[in-house]
Amino acid sequence: MSRDIEIQARWDGEAKVWIATSRDVPGLVVEADTWSSMIEEVRLILPELLDVRGERHDDLSLTFKAEEHLDVAGA
């Protein structure tokens, strides 16, 4: 059976990076300058983090949810 993990991703406009975290995997924090790089970093780091926590990671299903905040003047 697959383990579903939701990844929250947000764009930090000041730092110009995507930041990924997960409530399902405390301690997961990834920064990358592109969306695809962020996904790849999560895919590389997540199994290692789960190993450290003593959790299985042989069948994962990742869902990425993106957020970006914009201030619109005069709207």
Domains and CATH numbers, the chain: 3-67 (3.30.2390.10)
In this predicted model, what pLDDT tens digit does every residue of 38-49 receive, in sequence order?
999 999 999 999
Whether 74 shows a pLDDT value over 80: the answer reads no
Who wins on pLDDT, 58 or 20? 20
pTM here is: 0.82
User: What percentage of the chain reaches a pLDDT higher than 70?
Assistant: 97
Q: Tell me how many helices (H) and strands (E) the chain has.
A: 1, 4
In our burial notation (b when 16+ CB lie closer than 10 A, e otherwise), range 57-71 reads eeeeebebeeeeeee
Q: Which helix (H) or strand (E) holds 62?
A: strand 60-67
